[in-house]
């Protein structure tokens, strides 16, 4: 099969011809029909996340059809359309798994980081970490739901019920979570790179009441904010825009250093918290909710062999919505 492989961080992916994986016990093999290009993939490729399995096939927004079942798999059958997300396995025995917080597992496996992912024609995955996908979505449209959608949904849950919602960085995750937030009756304020009129117009088209640069203050104080852009300077900026008791949620796996800021910005019981990975419960909830909203994804497709170009455009902020590879 053809696969785009990362051999060393900070180098381009290489197109390789490698054997189709075989399923181990409890695993399925999936013929990949679409795989989203996520900012986490960019952090892996750019060497911003430590200790990836090398060589590695990136990609954790994987859509495809089951072709083979490993020993003991009963939840799926050949031909089922499934999604493979970022969380690829957990130990099940550490204190976090035992407490129902598998997203914090001490010995996890991550698709496209420690487990080969979906920038390929086939992928193998643990069956109990895969999900049937809503029939409402075409393959490419479904791909961003599997990370941009899931981490956005978890970020929104952890943000709490505040009505005035700020979203910093209006890319793949933001364009999905904005639709869910609007469905919940929230007011949305979108913050983009200063001067990025296209992103601001995109945000307004998805229901944002206001869209402006990340160096601006919104017309109303925010109850909650979610930061998707991996830019540490946005944390004090969001705190400055908060009501008393407001909460800032950092929705990314990597962020540049947060600069020092006066305690006054944090005082009055404002909070800053991170989001780590996802749980399978998050996936079940969100994949049931998405068709009800209904969430509509905006995607730009690329052939598998153009993965480096898709990553470049993501890195440079040249995408509207999400990039999706089509093997």
> What's residue 193's pLDDT?
95
CB 117 within 8 A of CB 60: yes
- In the chain, the DSSP E strands lie at 2-5, 14-17, 27-37, 62-69, 81-84, 87-89, 109-110, 122-126, 131-132, 164-168, 187-192, 210-213, 222-227, 242-250, 271-274, 299-303, 322-326
Strand partners, 205: none
Classified as helix, coil or strand, 106 is: coil
> What's residue 53's pLDDT?
97
Classified as helix, coil or strand, 282 is: helix
- Provide DSSP, 177-230: HHHHHHHTT-EEEEEESTT-HHHHHHHHHTT-SEEEETTS--SS-EEEEEE-S-
CB 293 within 8 A of CB 206: no
Residue-wise pLDDT tens digits, 70-124: 999 999 999 999 999 999 999 999 999 999 999 999 999 999 999 999 999 999 9
Tell me the C-alpha distance between 188 and 167, whole Å.
7
Q: Examine residue 173 and say whether the peptide bond preceding it is cis (omega within 30 degrees of 0).
A: no
Within its chain, how far is the Cα of 232 from the centroid?
A: 18
CATH superfamily, with its number, for domain 150-274: NAD(P)-binding Rossmann-like Domain (3.40.50.720)
**CATH class belonging to 2-146+279-326:** alpha beta
Note the pTM of the prediction, 2 decimals: 0.95
Tell me the C-alpha distance between 219 and 48, whole Å.
35
Same fold, 2-146+279-326 and 150-274: no
> What's residue 148's pLDDT?
97
Structure letter (DSSP) for residue 169: S
Burial class (CB in 10 A: 0-12, 13-18, 19+), 92: exposed
Q: What is the pLDDT along the chain (327 residues), one digit of tens a residue?
A: 999 999 999 999 999 999 999 999 999 999 999 999 999 999 999 999 999 999 999 999 999 999 999 999 999 999 999 999 999 999 999 999 999 999 999 999 999 999 999 999 999 999 999 999 999 999 999 999 999 999 999 999 999 999 999 999 999 999 999 999 999 999 999 999 999 999 999 999 999 999 999 999 999 999 999 999 999 999 999 999 999 999 999 999 999 999 999 999 999 999 999 999 999 999 999 999 999 999 999 999 999 999 999 999 999 999 999 999 999
> What's residue 75's pLDDT?
96
> What's residue 170's pLDDT?
95
Tell me the C-alpha distance between 171 and 190, whole Å.
11
> What's residue 17's pLDDT?
98
Domain ranges of the chain: 2-146+279-326, 150-274
CB 58 within 8 A of CB 117: yes
CB 64 within 8 A of CB 30: yes
Residue-wise pLDDT tens digits, 308-327: 999 999 999 999 999 999 99
Q: Would you say the C-alpha torsion 110, 113, 115, 118 has a positive or negative sign? A: positive
> What's residue 28's pLDDT?
98
């Amino acid at each position: 099969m053809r696969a785009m492989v990362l051999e060393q961080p900070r180098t381009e992916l290489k197109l390789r011809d490698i054997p189709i994986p075989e399923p181990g016990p409890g695993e399925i093999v999936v013929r990949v029909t679409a795989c989203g290009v996520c900012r986490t993939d960019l952090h892996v490729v750019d060497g911003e996340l430590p200790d990836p399995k090398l060589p590695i096939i990136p990609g954790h927004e994987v859509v495809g059809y089951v072709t083979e079942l490993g020993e003991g798999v009963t939840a799926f059958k050949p031909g089922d359309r499934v999604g493979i997300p970022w969380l690829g396995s957990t130990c099940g025995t550490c204190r976090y798994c035992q407490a129902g917080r598998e997203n914090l597992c001490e010995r996890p496996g991550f698709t496209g980081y420690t487990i080969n992912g979906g920038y390929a024609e086939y992928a193998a995955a643990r069956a109990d970490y895969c999900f049937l996908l809503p029939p409402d979505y075409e393959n490419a449209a479904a791909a961003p739901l599997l990370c941009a959608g899931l981490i956005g949904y978890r970020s929104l849950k952890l943000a709490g019920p505040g009505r005035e919602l700020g979203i910093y960085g209006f890319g793949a995750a933001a364009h999905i979570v904005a639709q869910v937030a609007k469905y919940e009756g929230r007011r949305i304020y979108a913050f983009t790179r200063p001067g990025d009129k296209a992103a601001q117009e995109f945000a307004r088209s998805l229901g944002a009441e206001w869209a402006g640069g990340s160096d601006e203050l919104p017309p109303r104080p925010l109850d909650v904010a979610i930061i998707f852009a991996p830019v540490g300077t946005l944390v004090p900026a969001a705190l400055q825009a908060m009501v008393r008791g407001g909460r800032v949620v950092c929705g990314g796996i990597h962020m540049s250093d947060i600069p020092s800021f006066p305690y006054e910005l944090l005082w009055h019981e404002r909070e800053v918290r991170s989001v780590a990975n996802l749980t399978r419960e998050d996936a079940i909830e969100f994949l049931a909710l998405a068709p009800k909203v209904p969430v509509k994804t905006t995607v730009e497709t690329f052939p598998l062999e153009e993965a480096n170009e898709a990553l470049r455009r993501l890195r440079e902020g040249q995408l509207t919505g999400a990039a999706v590879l089509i093997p």
